[in-house]
Amino acid sequence: MCVFVWVFVFNKRVDRIFSYNYDAHLIEKVLYDLSKNLKKRFTRYFCSMAEDLKIIEGKKEEQYQSLVPQIRALIEGESDLTANLANISAALKEQFNFFWVGFYLVKDDELVLGPFQGPVACTRIQKGRGVCGAAWAEGRTLIVPDVEAFPGHIACSSLSKSEIVVPLIQEDQVVGVLDVDSERLSAFDEVDQKYLEAIVQLIKF
Ligand code: SME
């Protein structure tokens, strides 16, 4: 009986080792891995690591700690402001799945919509108006736990419930703002402020 079982098992192993299917599968896998690797190298070379954002789970602080160096690497070799603001918006959206994340830039004494991720938004905001205009006028980060309680809040979408706006400062002048909106109340705190302020400091104008 034992001999019979052993022969049966042994034969199965030999079948697996030498069968055409096993070899074909192995070769197919090696070729697949090779092509994936080549594609990655090609993309890294020609597209400046566009596919390489590593998204992690965990506490908010851990997520920012993983993201900030990646954003630094993503923008440090690129001098185009629009490209960098677009990639920062995309990276924040990918990691945190914020409802809306993007930039407004000061042009002719107004904030004008810049690169963003999320639903379509208001294109122009006057100084002092809404959360963005207030952050611009006051030159500091504003955290709004409930947008309906903020006098003059500009509702680009009724789904937005809380918001943080971080000014972009160059030579003591506000040149724009980073605006992040959430569908949750009280989504933002001093952790977001700390890391979003660190992120905007990476931007070269
Ligand atoms: N809620 C902002 C307007 C911009 S959108 O949220 C994208 C504000 O009050 O300034």
Please give the tally of structural domains in the chain: 2
Q: Are residues 26 and 117 in the same domain?
A: no
In a 13 Å sphere around the CA of 155, the CA atoms on its Cβ side amount to 12
> Counting Cβ atoms within 10 Å, is residue 192 exposed (0-12), middle (13-18) or buried (19+)?
buried
Confirm whether 54 is domain-assigned: no
Confirm whether 115 is domain-assigned: yes
Stretch 29-50: mean pLDDT: 55
CA distance 158 to 148: 10
Q: Are residues 119 and 19 in the same domain?
A: no
68 pLDDT tier (thresholds 50, 70, 90): very high
**C-alpha of residue 52 to centroid of ligand 1, in Å:** 30
179 pLDDT tier (thresholds 50, 70, 90): very high
2-18 and 20-47 are packed helices; what angle lies between their axes, rounded to 10 degrees?
40
Confirm whether 114 is domain-assigned: yes
Confirm whether 117 is domain-assigned: yes
Stretch 145-159: mean pLDDT: 96
Q: Are residues 17 and 69 in the same domain?
A: no
**Parent domain of 69:** 60-201
60-76 and 81-96 are packed helices; what angle lies between their axes, rounded to 10 degrees?
160
**Token couple for 133:** 């205009």
Q: Are residues 139 and 177 in the same domain?
A: yes
Stretch 151-165: mean pLDDT: 96
Q: Are residues 69 and 168 in the same domain?
A: yes
Q: Are residues 116 and 24 in the same domain?
A: no
Confirm whether 52 is domain-assigned: no
CB atoms within 10 A of CB 118: 19
Q: Are residues 115 and 192 in the same domain?
A: yes
Q: Which residues line ligand 1 (CB under 6 A)?
A: 100, 121-122, 125, 130-133, 153-154, 156, 160, 163, 179, 181
Q: Are residues 28 and 88 in the same domain?
A: no
Tell me, letter by letter, the H, E, C secondary structure of 89-138: HHHHHHHHCCCEEEEEEEECCEEEEEEEECCCCCCEEECCCHHHHHHHHH
Q: Are residues 36 and 83 in the same domain?
A: no
- Overall pTM surpassing 0.85 (yes/no): no
- List the beta bridge partners of residue 105: 112, 176
Q: Are residues 132 and 40 in the same domain?
A: no
CATH number at residue 94: 3.30.450.40
**C-alpha of residue 35 to centroid of ligand 1, in Å:** 44
Output the pLDDT for position 200: 98
**C-alpha of residue 156 to centroid of ligand 1, in Å:** 6
Confirm whether 148 is domain-assigned: yes
Confirm whether 53 is domain-assigned: no
Q: Which atom, in ligand 1's list, is nearest to the CA of 150?
A: 9
- What is the pLDDT of the chain when averaged over all its residues? 86
**Phi-psi region for residue 125, left (φ > 0), alpha (ψ -120 to 50) or beta?**
beta
> Which of 99, 120, 132, 182 for mutating ligand 1's site (highest number of atoms within 8 Å of CB)?
132
Q: Are residues 31 and 106 in the same domain?
A: no
> Tens digit of pLDDT for each residue in 70-95?
999 999 999 999 999 999 999 999 99
**C-alpha of residue 135 to centroid of ligand 1, in Å:** 11
Q: Are residues 24 and 87 in the same domain?
A: no
**pLDDT reading at 40 higher than 90:** no
Confirm whether 26 is domain-assigned: yes
36 pLDDT tier (thresholds 50, 70, 90): low
Positive/negative CA dihedral, 57, 60, 66, 70: positive
Output the pLDDT for position 52: 84
